[in-house]
Structure 1
């Protein structure tokens, strides 16, 4: 039942009824004039006396249903309502800044796989369990650097967490107060009145309470302790362990007391890192408790939200509007639309809709996040983004051509990576050299250049070994052939001497014994023919064996040559897999630039 709260949400739409009222009055006036002629003339004579258009009465019959549909549509647009919707005015505007310590002590492996890797896992779990509010990530040693400012997009932070390591920092050391100061600046810049700062670290130096209170402001500071009190030595990338000035191995131990003191002074909590998710649950509950308390406090605040009943009136407009069409026109439209495939129509509709509200680069970024790299390459307009999409799609040569058109050290470095992936190692080395010429301190380009040079040397050594093996095989074959020819000549000489000896023996027998000589002369041609046939058979029998040996040797050579490209390709892939494509290089250059600006 409609109560006294009935009103229109958009009453200005009711002004659209004025043109309809004017049109209705004019039609009534026209109809009234025709009614006056009925008093003086028969109704049968009116069509012959009055000038009326064909179909005028039919149009008049259609006008009134369409007018009613128009009135209902205007009322629906005006938004009739009489029911209030419950909507609390509270919204969680809390902020959380995670400050990760990237000192070399975080490389200790007293907790597996290492302190830093375990910290990255915990940060990922904490961000995934954080349902609302804004989050930020910064890293610090002696100075603090912002990885991402406060944002609702958790996925952006998670993509950058994987590239965080101790090598990206331009300076080592530890300054907890600098990390707190940078965190407070992020919260104030975002307008966050109530927030938390979480230090993920293995040590905290002594901080003056007065300086801490002045720096932190209204924000709480909590600590997630990483490591064990027994500690572990710090591994170095080149091998061995980190040592002090006296040559003693440094053992990084967890310092618990300063952390607990810092958390208690700032109103936060201290939590040791656990093997399960108890630490993350404790921290999440603590961060959400303040937001829930504020929500309970503001639970009585309600927004002025009313339920709009206008859309329900459109169900009455549809059948009335259908009367305004010609007979069968609406059915014809339905028959035309029904055969269309719904999937293709939805795809085209969504594509057109996205074009209206998003640029090509935005749609390309969306396709890139969905790992549709070829589609992203077609959409991107910016050259560097398009080249990155082509690189991810495996079209390395096309990506290299785009990067070649850009005059920067980063473009040459990316072009070198693409050429290396395409197998053009010499061109990749030239690209790295150009990047180093433009930016001498480009560590990533220097490392990749060294990797590709080693790979190129290995390939050249393999090619030299294969050529040497081919030469030795050809020499062996030549020697075998020479030996076979010499053996054949010796056999022929022996056969000739045997034949000459047989002739001399036959001559002596003819002189001594004439009767026997006639028999021997008749049989000797037969014996010769048989001996020749036997030799031919033996030669034929030896020939296939020799040919089979040659074929086997040739097959062995071809199979060895076929295996070598596969082995080379595997070696190329192993070397190229070592080329970094994670965001650590970007963060390293960013922090180094910021550090240089601060020094200036």
Structure 2
């Protein structure tokens, strides 16, 4: 009895009403009736004997509460089991995440969704992989979601070693991470904004028949937007045209379906996060027993069943006419409902639309779309699942107001802004006072105006670049005679004789004027002869000789000719020349000492003082990049 305890002691509080009832019964018996006892006897109004039923019910109630409290004085050892589902979160860190079609931008929304997903995985292990031009492991499989959250918050495209959008590399890195941990199946949760056709084909061929499932949360819209870099400028391609970052929703959805995963476009109500988290937790779980490791769990044995006779025996008095039926009517509404059992029983009695509506209420929109026989309900289910093109196909041709409104919304979400504008305008003719239609029409018109402005801006930039090339060519043609006039060979003295001092001064003034026009002023410490002849001074020659590691023979001959034409320097110049030699030698020695140190690794010394964890993440990815082969060149670098 030393280990005696109640497993669920809160049930003891249910005895309080029984105590109050017992106190009331005692008080009611002690009260005197309205007629005195001897008068009642004379009139033949003898009081009936007190019923023992309330006492029996009170007795049964008390023992029932004790039994439900779970008295326990024994323990039982059982082997421990643990849910060992594995998943890897793959985050896109390409520069296209700076696009602002989703406010404030795609990168911020991607981080929000990743941080919302991590706390929902309370069982199993989770890894973290980031990819751009190549993929890198940021964390192995772990149960510490807080550490993963800290890593996600410090990610950005700027710290990635290679730029691009190599989604197949990210998925392959995630699968390799789970294989190294000993898992033969698992989930890859991808948060990305694009995939091209070649990548989709390669992934479908590689993952066909594999036990790895890819679930995708698409971040971005099909109409897209320009990429605003952190410095505020718009990203441009090699031809100088502003990049428009669009999201291939159909390609990402095809990837999820081909691997039996789940796809969801980004939503503001967090249903996308719930759908992916629930799918990864309930669908592919590996239950591993740790009994072989000697781990046991001790659980208390509920001995409350020994009190059942004391609960049931007093209730035998209820088996009288009418009592049992009344008790059944009282207890029946209190029985717990079983929706799953009821659904399985009533499923054969339901039509397709009713079954689809149940799946719709459970937020399984893809299943609901396949169950609905109504085209309008199919369109609504496709829209909720982010399948906007399928929603358009289902809703077209339906004349109801709700179907037309949902069709306009699907067209807008699918990037068909002109068609959406026409649909909203036709709806306004039928319902001029509909505020939601006016609001959506204003949003679509604003998006169209932004697209037109962007196209005009790109055309102006393209025209400006085309006009700038002839101007630059003409400017180069005008500058070429000046360069010839400043050539040192034209200013050297001829073999017939030297020019007079007046001619030399005029040449000097003309040379100074030309140099000032070109914006390349010479140092004031150079002698006039060096400026007039266009040759370097002896000090500069000595410094140039020290900076050159292996001068060619032609350069050596040219230097000797220049030294023979130049007047000898003074003793002071010799001292300065020696100092230049010593300074250059010391600089060369310092450069030899630091040449073998990687500048990226040298930044690690400043991490502690700067306190920026992104430096550590960047260094971690750089070390992985050095141990891997260079990634294949992707079609786009954003």
Q: TM-score range by the shorter chain?
A: 0.3 to 0.5
Pick the structure with greater CA Rg.
Answer: 1
State TM-score, norm by structure 1.
0.39
